[in-house]
Structure 1
Amino acid sequence: MKAELSISGIINYEPGFSSYNYSMTIGRIPGYFQSVDLPAKALLVWFNAAIFLFTIASPTITQAQSGFIQSYCFENESSLQFNDLILQNDTLVMYGRARHPMTGQIGIYFSKMDTLGNILIETTHYDSTGDDYFFDINADLIICSDGGYAIAGKTFFRGYSIIIKFNYDGFLDFVKEHPDDSVLHTTHWNLIETQSGYMTVGAKQQMSDGKWDAFVMRTDESGNKIWETSYGQQEVWEVFKEILSISENEFLVSGAAGLSTSQVQNPSQQWSQNRVLKIDSTGNISEVWEGEIKFYPTSVGMSKLYPTIDENWFSIGSNNMIIEGYDLPVNQVEVTKRNESFEAIETITILDHTSSKNILTDLTPGLNQEWVTVGRYLHEVPGPPTYYYDAGLIAKVNEAGDLLWTRTDTLFYDASGYSDHYLGGVVVLPSGSIIACGQVNSDIPAPGKSYGWLIKVDKDGCIEPGCNPTSSSSSLLDGTAFEVFPNPLSDQLNVSGPGRFDLELLDSNGRLLQSSNGNVDQASFNLRTYPTGNYYLRIKVGSRWAVRKVVKQ
């Protein structure tokens, strides 16, 4: 059947794939459910599912497609992370980072999938000097006018800002570096395409005072720098993460300024302020909007500034509180509707103040004047002893200011907190279904591993239509318990694992080649007549899936 159409989203962070980055692994937490009473709406609820490692969606899902939770990491990557996804025609286009299993080098991963999660193409590119590629939170993949794709990032060790351009098939058109040895560090968040090239936004840590100054760079079509303008003042950090084109010669750059805890001796001196600049095509400022200055604990609330059809704006952020028993201020994430002057009209808070790590990472319009956001949330489980677990978060709000529903999911759950879960990119399909991508990092077992993950839910946040608020849990499908051999293979592929399971063999385009149901402990497929190349083996135990890549030589 045809896959659904979808829209766009984002995410990523951290070098080295450890636990402050968007993580990935396998697992399931205690079921977490939340419903919200709405003034003129039925109770919307969902259930929290968790499925597991190495996963891929079933091509036999019917028209009202069921959802899924899938994770991805194959033998040719020791770790894999998804940062962002967008729509091109009926295909999901995604990028992330992959760690080479032999050298440990981190490259940029590119793939195309249908909206059932089947991989259509995938490539990984590594820096020729041996450096790692790094893409910050909110680093968006964009579709270019020639049908290709571009992303802003940096080289991790050298700290150079870079623009990476792919062609339609995911092969590199260019990687353009922009060295600057006059600063301590560089971050490079986002870019847009202009009529004559690209404009990017980021921040650089100055040697003079150690503070961050925002910058905007304009390049030609090949990524060569035309100009770069810095926006900052002494002893204050300025970090702008978003750039939008509002006309051929006008652009909005949005972010924040202030002083962080690490930059002051007394926490009460910490402050932050949301800011928006209107600049022209040469980087000159024509207008400045500055929000209210908020002192410790500060708040951040101008990420993913998104225009609405009524000439207002939506954005995501967080408000911070000092709560007894916590060492640091803790965040409550929020979605804010703003007027044409960026002043807050309505703020919709989501879940509770539980951690400084709570964050929203992407926002996208849904159907019927609704908005979907994704991020990370740390659950508190009362004791004794009290403990926390980290989960990916999806929430839907409407323009009237209602929180319609939230859901949190994990791939891997450990009461000791050795896994990080992030969702970053999100798209809404024409059916109203939602697809989010992200990363999960686990430190157990050592040395740890990262996984890319994909979650699909319907418009009500359900994996299965008609989900209800009754808490439930399912045991994990332990992917490591299944042995797939030999791999690479020449003819027969063998699978062994505990209990009863179903198998599906798919080609590199996601087409079902063979299936075998009701296997007990072991099964096999004969691939002798198939051409050499990559294939995908889907292992299914009920609604829990795992996927392995196999190579025929």
Structure 2
Amino acid sequence: MRRVLHILAAFLSASAALAQAPGIVWEQIHTDIAVSRPHCARLSEEGELVVGFSSSYDVGTVRWFDLNGELLYAVDVPWFASGIRSLEVLSDGGVIATGDGMPTEASDDWGLLLCRFSPNGELLWAKAYDIPGAEDRGLDVEPLPDGGFAVCGYSETDGDKDAWVMRTDSQGDTLWSVQWGWIYNDAAVSIYYSDNGLAVLMKGRLPESGGGRPHLVRYSMDGEIEWMKYEEYKGTPIRMCEAVPEGYAMLVGKTVYRLDPLGSILWERNVPANGETWEMYTIEPVIYDGFIVAGFDDEKIEPGPDDPNSYLGRVSSSGEVMWWTSLERETACWFHDVVQLPQGGYMAVGRYGADNYFYLVRFEPETGIGEQEQPAPLLAIGSCVPNPGRGSVSIHWTSAGPGDTELTVFDISGRVVGRSGMGILAAGEHSSSWSSEGLPPGCYIVRLTCGSQSAAAKVILLN
């Protein structure tokens, strides 16, 4: 499980009225980096921004930045042509990435790319997975508890795409590989591990539908389909992320769908924007409450330019729009991904101008959310001790009512590293313990859920 909680930020709560969008700390236009599209960004355990993209010359590259936007190091995939479309930071600080590429100029076609990098940016290995006569592309990758990886994407032959899902070991050797499709132009766009299985968001075209529609498919760890959900969904699926305490959020066109673990819709909400045209590229969870989406809109402030504007918007866990902002600049600009920062605020990555320069913007922590006088919380963590510390951590909390209670612990990349169900607990003061044995030092998030209530706290593990 990943990306559920990226990092601990300011306490945030939903508000019926739109809150003020966060201000900008700084923005940078890297004129030395031209990108076809910065496909993904993640935050490392050390607080570094890791970005994967394709350069304008078909060179797949991963770059590490500090939180002031300074480039720390970069590494390219040493192939004839390549592109990186998704990456994840691993528990050892390394990076796994997927995309597409041609290892040599003599390669017959583009293959699905899977490559692994060390924590200091060294390329450890890069492998191509090729279906003869097809153009193959990886769109998302998921680290697995056994050290291996799950990858999804598509294989295209004569203009027709089939979704492609595969599982590998820690060295990228294939354990199994499956293709799936209805009529044509099918693809698998997001993949997650949970409860000893894989949830895959797919785009599929049915005989009676005019275009692709979302399919949520559950695979066993052996590659067998356990169930499929699509009847309730409409539109073109963009991305999916995990939600707290369970389930998923799916971005379909300009709509956010909140799904339960079996794919049923809990709520749906259109993303607001000015202008007649806007498009979202990604959705990510926000600690404590809701989701953030990134993309562009075409809001105009006369006599402003007739170009796309970078866009961020936030939706609460109950489906309320909390805020959104559109950045109009002298030329076109887009946001393609966003991460939440440990000290609050966000970092968004995208493209700027006709030359597609790498664009990086840091946003302030949010204000105007939850500033009204609030009632006492129904669930509150009083302390985690020792903190900082090592070994067993005691968590003490108070609940105002009874409820089914669960303790979940995440690392800074959002991966679940501990979970304990406690059943139905009465109102009052409670305590539980969590063993950090076998975990590296760093920042971890302890999250309690009791019924529909939740609370979280940061725990620092020492050497």
Partner Cα separation in structure 2 for residue 200 and residue 39 of structure 1: 34
Structure 2 residue identity aligned to 1:140: S
Q: CA deviation at 1:379?
A: 2.6
CA contact (8 A) 2:136 2:154 kept: yes
- The reply to whether residue 346 of structure 1 matches residue 282 of structure 2 is no
Q: CA deviation at 1:223?
A: 1.5
Partner Cα separation in structure 2 for residue 452 and residue 302 of structure 1: 22
Deviations 1:502-547 (A, max 9, x none): xxxxxxxxxxxxxxxxxxxxxxxxxxxxxxxxxxxxxxxxxxxxxx
Q: CA deviation at 1:353?
A: 8.3
Partner Cα separation in structure 1 for residue 367 and residue 279 of structure 2: 19
Q: Which residue of 2 aligns with 1:70?
A: 28
Q: Which residue of 1 aligns with 2:352?
A: 440
- The reply to whether residue 116 of structure 1 matches residue 68 of structure 2 is yes
CA contact (8 A) 1:214 1:240 kept: yes
Q: CA deviation at 1:109?
A: 2.8
Partner Cα separation in structure 1 for residue 96 and residue 339 of structure 2: 18
Secondary structure in 2 matching 1:425: strand
Partner Cα separation in structure 2 for residue 92 and residue 211 of structure 1: 39
Partner Cα separation in structure 1 for residue 90 and residue 189 of structure 2: 20
Q: Which residue of 1 aligns with 2:20?
A: 45
Partner Cα separation in structure 2 for residue 151 and residue 460 of structure 1: 31
Question: Which of the numbers 379, 391, 397 marks the counterpart of 2:315?
Answer: 397
Q: Which residue of 1 aligns with 2:403?
A: none
Query: TM-score normalised to the size of structure 2?
Result: 0.68
Partner Cα separation in structure 2 for residue 352 and residue 381 of structure 1: 13
- The reply to whether residue 314 of structure 1 matches residue 249 of structure 2 is yes
Partner Cα separation in structure 2 for residue 181 and residue 292 of structure 1: 36
Q: Which residue of 2 aligns with 1:486?
A: none
- The reply to whether residue 274 of structure 1 matches residue 210 of structure 2 is no
Q: Which residue of 2 aligns with 1:537?
A: none
Query: TM-score normalised to the size of structure 1?
Result: 0.57
Q: CA deviation at 1:211?
A: 2.4
Partner Cα separation in structure 2 for residue 404 and residue 45 of structure 1: 8
CA contact (8 A) 2:31 2:358 kept: yes
Partner Cα separation in structure 2 for residue 314 and residue 246 of structure 1: 15
Q: CA deviation at 1:269?
A: 5.9
- The reply to whether residue 363 of structure 1 matches residue 363 of structure 2 is no
- More relative contact order, 1 or 2 (CA 8 Å, 6+ apart): 1
What is the count of residue pairs matched by the alignment?
354
Question: Which of the numbers 92, 98, 102 marks the counterpart of 1:146?
Answer: 92
Partner Cα separation in structure 2 for residue 203 and residue 461 of structure 1: 41
Structure 2: give runs of 5+ residues left out of the alignment: 8-12, 372-463
Q: Which residue of 2 aligns with 1:252?
A: 199
CA contact (8 A) 1:80 1:452 kept: no
Question: Which of the numbers 127, 151, 169 marks the counterpart of 2:78?
Answer: 127
Structure 2 residue identity aligned to 1:247: D
CA contact (8 A) 1:219 1:225 kept: yes
Residues 1:42 and 1:458: Cα distance change in structure 2 (over 3 Å): farther
CA contact (8 A) 1:83 1:439 kept: no
Q: CA deviation at 1:176?
A: 0.6
After TM superposition, list the pairs within 5 Å mapping 1:398-477 onto structure 2: 398-413=316-331, 419=332, 421-442=333-354, 449-460=355-366
Q: Which residue of 2 aligns with 1:305?
A: 241
Structure 2 residue identity aligned to 1:153: G
Partner Cα separation in structure 2 for residue 78 and residue 45 of structure 1: 32
Q: CA deviation at 1:162?
A: 0.9
CA contact (8 A) 2:77 2:126 kept: no
Q: CA deviation at 1:39?
A: 9.6
Deviations 1:89-111 (A, max 9, x none): 24223233464xxxx74323333
Structure 1: give runs of 5+ residues left out of the alignment: 1-5, 9-37, 49-65, 319-332, 414-418, 443-448, 467-553
Partner Cα separation in structure 2 for residue 313 and residue 79 of structure 1: 30
Partner Cα separation in structure 2 for residue 202 and residue 286 of structure 1: 19
Partner Cα separation in structure 2 for residue 214 and residue 270 of structure 1: 18
Partner Cα separation in structure 1 for residue 18 and residue 191 of structure 2: 37
After TM superposition, list the pairs within 5 Å mapping 1:315-330 onto structure 2: 315-318=250-253
Residues 1:42 and 1:271: Cα distance change in structure 2 (over 3 Å): closer
Deviations 1:468-494 (A, max 9, x none): xxxxxxxxxxxxxxxxxxxxxxxxxxx
After TM superposition, list the pairs within 5 Å mapping 1:476-491 onto structure 2: none
Q: CA deviation at 1:403?
A: 1.0
CA contact (8 A) 2:241 2:284 kept: no
Q: Which residue of 1 aligns with 2:168?
A: 219
Q: Which residue of 2 aligns with 1:541?
A: none
CA contact (8 A) 2:299 2:326 kept: no
Q: Which residue of 1 aligns with 2:136?
A: 186
Secondary structure in 1 matching 2:212: strand
Partner Cα separation in structure 2 for residue 222 and residue 47 of structure 1: 42
Partner Cα separation in structure 2 for residue 253 and residue 47 of structure 1: 32
Q: Aligned residues: percent identity?
A: 15
Structure 1 residue identity aligned to 2:132: D
Secondary structure in 1 matching 2:297: strand
Question: Which of the numbers 74, 85, 94 marks the counterpart of 2:41?
Answer: 85
Larger radius of gyration: 1
Partner Cα separation in structure 1 for residue 157 and residue 168 of structure 2: 22
Partner Cα separation in structure 2 for residue 243 and residue 39 of structure 1: 28
Question: Which of the numbers 217, 225, 238 marks the counterpart of 1:285?
Answer: 225
- The reply to whether residue 176 of structure 1 matches residue 114 of structure 2 is no
Residues 1:40 and 1:196: Cα distance change in structure 2 (over 3 Å): closer
Q: CA deviation at 1:440?
A: 2.5
Q: Which residue of 1 aligns with 2:156?
A: 205
Q: Which residue of 2 aligns with 1:335?
A: 256
Q: Which residue of 2 aligns with 1:493?
A: none
- The reply to whether residue 230 of structure 1 matches residue 150 of structure 2 is no
Q: 371-380 or 90-99, which moves further after superposition?
A: 90-99
Secondary structure in 2 matching 1:67: strand
Deviations 1:233-258 (A, max 9, x none): 3x33321111111133x111112211
Q: CA RMSD in A?
A: 3.3
Q: CA deviation at 1:284?
A: 0.9
Secondary structure in 1 matching 2:48: strand
Q: CA deviation at 1:220?
A: 2.3
Partner Cα separation in structure 1 for residue 156 and residue 36 of structure 2: 29
Secondary structure in 1 matching 2:121: coil
